[in-house]
Amino acid sequence: MDPNLLKKEFPLEDGLIYLNHAAVAPWPARTRDAVRQFAEENSRIGAQHYQRWLQKEQALRAQIQRLLNAPSSDDIALLKNTSEALSVVAAGLDWQAGDNVVISAEEFPSNRIPWQSLARRGVELREVNIRVEAPEQALRDHCDDRTRLLSVSSVQYGSGIRLDLEALGPFCRRNNILFCIDAIQSLGAITMDVQALQADFVMADAHKWLLGPEGIALFYSTPAARERLQLYQYGWHMVENIDFNSRDWQVARAARRFECGSPNMLGIHAFSASLSLLEEIGYRQIEHKVLRNSAYLIDKLEQIDTVQILTPKVAQRHAGIINFTVAAKDMLQLQNNLLNNKVICVYRGGGLRFSPHFYITDKLLDKAVDILRRLSL
C-alpha cells in the first residue's frame, strides 16, 4: 500500500489513534473534498448540472454492484440506513401467523427490532446462541418448515464473530427460506460476493468500514426477492418511467422501487468518493490488511496478562472487530481513560471494542496497546 496515498487520504489529528471503524469512521480526504465541492457548486449554481449528479448516482450504483458482485446495478437501492432496509423487508413480506424468522441472539437492534415488530402479525422470532462451536449449524437447526427468513449480521457488532455465510445461503435457497444479511460490519473490510452466497437481501450503511457518511445505505435485492415485498412508500421516483406529464405509472422493476422521492445527492457524492478510494486500493488488499491488523492486535493484547479476548481468535471467525475485557477493571471507566488518551474506541458487547481499519499502522496499534497496558495497571 502506498504510504503517501494513505497519509494524504487520512490526515487524522496528530496523536489520535482511531480504533472505532465499527462505529463511525473518519472520512478520507477525497470524501471531504467531494462534499466541499458539492457545497460550493450548490451555493454557486444550484442544480444547474443535475444531469451530472444523476451520472454520479449511476456511478455509485455501479461501484456498489462491483463491491457486492451483484448481477446488475438495478439490484441496488440507495436508502437512508441499514434499519430502513431491514424494515422494508420486514414490513414488505406477506407474513402468515405461525411463520418464524431466525436471527442470532446477539444482533444489533437494527436486525432484531424490525422482526420483533412482526409479533402483532403472529410471527415468531427465534434468537439463536452463536457462541458455540458451529454457529451456522445452530442457525440451521433452528429453521423449520415455517421459517420464512434467516437474517444475520455478517460480523457481530459486539463480539466481532464472523459467520460463514456460504454455509447459510445455499441452505436457505434449498429450503425456500429468504436469506438476509446485515453487512455493515464487514463490507469495506471483508470481501463479499452476493451471488456466491445466494443472498436475497443485503444492506449496509456507508459510515463504518466503507468510510462514507451517515445517512446513505446500500440495499441489494434479487429481482425475485424484491417482487415478494409489498411497498409501503410511494412517490415520483419509484416508478418505471419517470414522466411528470403522465398520470399512468407502474412500479419500477429495478430496486429503485424502494426509493420513493428525491435522492440524497450529497450522500451520493460523498459515498462515491469513499468507494473510489477503496476500489483504488483494492478490496482484496484491504481485507488482507484488516485481518493482518486483527491478528497483530490479538497477539499484542495477549501479552497483557489481565486481558481476556472475547472475539474468536481464528482468522475465519473474525473480521476487523476485536473485543476484550481487562480483569478487575471497570470497562466504562477504562474506555473513558482511553478516550482521554486519544485512543478512540468504545465499550460494547461486554468488553472494549477495538476496530482498526486497513490504514492503521503497527506503530499506532503498538501505541494503543502501550496506553492500555499503562491504564490497566
Site of interaction with ligand PLP (CB under 6 A): 81-83, 108, 110-111, 153, 157, 182, 184-185, 205, 217
| In the complex, minimum distance from the CB of residue 182 to ligand PLP, in angstroms, rounded to a whole number | 5
| In the complex, minimum distance from the CB of residue 216 to ligand PLP, in angstroms, rounded to a whole number | 10
Count Cβ neighbours within 10 Å for each residue of 282-293 and write b for 16 or more, e otherwise. ebeebbebbbeb
Residue 306: strand, helix, or coil: coil
Q: Hunting for cell 461501484 — which residue is that?
A: 63
Between residues 157 and 171, which has the closer beta carbon with respect to ligand PLP?
157
- Alpha helices by DSSP H, listed for the chain, are 3-9, 29-45, 50-68, 82-92, 113-116, 135-141, 169-174, 194-197, 223-227, 265-281, 283-302, 331-340, 362-375
In degrees and rounded to multiples of 5, residue 367 shows phi and psi of -65, -40
| In the complex, minimum distance from the CB of residue 78 to ligand PLP, in angstroms, rounded to a whole number | 13
Pairing of strands 178-182, 147-153: parallel
| In the complex, minimum distance from the CB of residue 16 to ligand PLP, in angstroms, rounded to a whole number | 21
| In the complex, minimum distance from the CB of residue 249 to ligand PLP, in angstroms, rounded to a whole number | 29
| In the complex, minimum distance from the CB of residue 276 to ligand PLP, in angstroms, rounded to a whole number | 21
- Beta-carbon contacts of 362 under 8 Å, excluding residues fewer than 6 positions away, are 296
Closest C-alpha to 270, from 191, 211, 218 = 211
Between residues 281 and 345, which has the closer beta carbon with respect to ligand PLP?
345
Between residues 300 and 357, which has the closer beta carbon with respect to ligand PLP?
357
Between residues 184 and 199, which has the closer beta carbon with respect to ligand PLP?
184
Between residues 27 and 157, which has the closer beta carbon with respect to ligand PLP?
157
Between residues 9 and 259, which has the closer beta carbon with respect to ligand PLP?
259
Alpha-carbon distance of 295 to 157, in angstroms, equals 18
Between residues 21 and 300, which has the closer beta carbon with respect to ligand PLP?
21
Alpha-carbon distance of 314 to 284, in angstroms, equals 19
Between residues 157 and 324, which has the closer beta carbon with respect to ligand PLP?
157
| In the complex, minimum distance from the CB of residue 354 to ligand PLP, in angstroms, rounded to a whole number | 15
Specify whether the backbone of 75 is left (phi greater than 0), alpha (psi in -120 to 50) or beta: alpha
329 burial (CB, 10 Å; 0-12 / 13-18 / 19+) is middle
Between residues 216 and 291, which has the closer beta carbon with respect to ligand PLP?
216
Whether the Cβ atoms of residue 208 and residue 188 lie closer than 8 Å to each other: yes
Whether the Cβ atoms of residue 229 and residue 92 lie closer than 8 Å to each other: yes
| In the complex, minimum distance from the CB of residue 297 to ligand PLP, in angstroms, rounded to a whole number | 19
| In the complex, minimum distance from the CB of residue 154 to ligand PLP, in angstroms, rounded to a whole number | 8
